[in-house]
Structure 1
Amino acid sequence: MNTDAPTASALDDAALRFVRFVRPRLGTIVICILFALEVLAMLLVLQFLTVTWRQVMGFVISTVCFALLLTRHRTWRWSLPLVMLLSFGGFPFAHIAMYGYAKRQPSRMRAVAWLGATITAHVAWNVGSYFLTGERDQLINDPEFANDPITPTFEAVMITSLELIALLSLSLSMAIGIYVAMRRERAAAMEDRLRIAQEGRRAAVEQARASERTRIAREMHDIVAHKISLIALQAGAMEVNDSLTREQMAEGTALIRSTASNALTELRQVLGVLRDEDTSAPLTPQPAWSDVIGLVETSNNAGARIELDNRLGDDAVVPEAVARTAYRVLQECLTNVHKHALNRAALVVIGRCPLEGADGSEAAGQRALCIEVHNRIPDHPNHSLPGARMGLVGIEERIKQAGGTFRVLPSARGDFTVRAEIPWGACPTS
């Protein structure tokens, strides 16, 4: 039983190879069979007929035209009519000629028109030459038919049958050529669709990679910019204050060390995502509502002057997605205060408010978490901490993804206000 399995498998493989070899060449194989049958029929008929000069010349010229038809694609414009028109001797080549023409001709109607024209000319040429060149008299006067004269009915049936066979065989050749052409077109169309699908998949992958890079870059910006600004703020305060005691210096350096350590830890977690297969996982431990309130305390410990007006309360129950977005918004706003308004007091107001639409109108029945950060614009901006000027752009994108609104409102009095409204049922954002 085991010995028969390899044999059956080998037979199946051989059959599969045979099908793969024959299938794309099926049209050519059928045409070759028709050609062989036509040659065989011609040899059988020539046993009863005398070969004329027209048949010999037709065979020679048809052979030359057929050879040119095989070597060059555009020779069908003149060689195909000659192959079709010439006498009985060149007729077997007409199958291959019509097959090649139909396979290369993109217009199906033009191929059918050529078939009709050439068959009409072929019939007219052969029937006319049969009656006008003496072939009919030669056949009637043949001694073999002396005791069995050809009747008009038999003559009509013979001529009609021969031309009908010619019509059917040429039509079959053309149909096979059209079928092969259609298969090639279908294969080309499938290749185009496959190529377009592959390009679409590559574009989707590239878009996903770009989105992931943007997500990671935004997270790194939020972490590094805020932590480094706190470190610079604390270091600057220690540098300009000569009256600090040893304990105060120790507290300041401990704050700088802990801030830097936290920044490195979060940065390692972000970079670890680049080596992780699951890039959709959260980049860092996600902040909670208590972390949002703690941002103000951390900034004040670093030397900033920020007042918090928390109208929700420290123990408010805030959805996780809203808390995460609020944390990033407030983090970026405080970072800008550290950079550009270091010696100015700032006010942070947190509460609930009706959600406004993009046009400023109030959305019916929707509530939002509202964060406002007010600070005075300094007369001499601080350029010691350069920025990429992309933080507010990233925050605006976060708010829009959550379905909220974001506004930056500088006033003529020198105030700078950032207002963010995050829908209370906001979708998760990274």
Structure 2
Amino acid sequence: MRTEGSQSTGPAFEGRRWLFPSAVIHELDPGAVRPGHRPRRTARDWLVDCTFFLVAVGFAVLAAEAVSREEDLPDSLVLLDQWLGALACAAVWLRRRWPVGLAIAMIPVGLLSMTSGGAGLIAIFTLAVHRPFRYVAWIGGVWLAVQPLYYWLRPDPDLPYPVAVAFSVLFTVAVISCGLLVRSKRQLVVTLQDRARRAETEAGLRAERAQRLAREAIAREMHDVLAHRLTLLSVHAGALEFRPDAPRDEIARAAGVIRESAHDALQDLREIIGVLRAGESDDAGRPQPTLAALDTLVAESREAGMKVTLAQQITDPADVPASVGRTAYRIAQECLTNARKHAPGAEVTVTVTGTPGDGLTVTVRNPAPGGEVPPVPGSGQGLIGLTERATLTGGDLHHGPTPQGGFEVRAWLPWG
């Protein structure tokens, strides 16, 4: 298989490197290998290599006993057979570095040495695992073609010639097939890891985009609020300028309004610092909803056919800061929209509690839908935007399914 070129591995790959072959690790994480060096064997590689070496040695020992029983074979050929078998077993340790060269070299060695048969099968298996099919087709074809010649030169005393050739060919084809299966599995692992890595990257980009859009929306709302407060400042300051002889009480009242508006504008300005804004809004000057508008939102949802229960335990919603009230309203609005799409017909409960100093808590909960819900478009970006909105306000937001199968969104926002 290919051993170069890829990106960093995904989180599922970390911590389990010893379970993967070194070729797969190099494919998934080429930065782990220094330039000009080969990948280091993993624990799995050492286990597999030791097992193959022992298998080759065991086959050579059994074959050596069979060779020694051949009466018409000269002692020099017996010795040559055994020496070639020993060298072939030692060459098994080089199968990862030179799979093509080892497979080619084992063809003439296999004709001269019966004891090298195990090492030869391991070499052809390694070739099928580590190299493309064109190498396997050519070298494997030559390997199969010499089988009749081998049994013609050294017939099996226990099996007829056609049976021995057929058995050897089928066994070799089975070994090559196993090698191709292992190669396909490795390629599948690399492909799945690459897809998981790309999916993770795309999910991160979508989350960043949702956060950016949420920041832009908050910036537009802050623009509207600041514009409203600065307009009040301008109106009252203009009144003082054109009526310097106004009664003292009226001047004091206008000055108080200017002071409060300036204070509120500074508070809103602190919140907008750090919030990125792209482009101009087309709806500047639009009045922004606050917590006091929550009753109207619930009434509109009920008119649309939803079952909504509002439990607002805030005595005077006007006491809630405007920025906190806007965030609470947007959270309830998004949650009602999601409930209408994903749990139609289910009763939604909106609970708003809190006191100055303890913060404001908004909870929106709905049970599991009564029947099958048709699929609707949506990727959870709205909840990501709500989390970003709550974080920028200084609070936090959590969401997820309930043990009964419903869904709950709980947000805490600072108040005071």
TM-score, scaled to structure 1: 0.45
Q: Which has the larger radius of gyration?
A: 1
TM-score, scaled to structure 2: 0.46
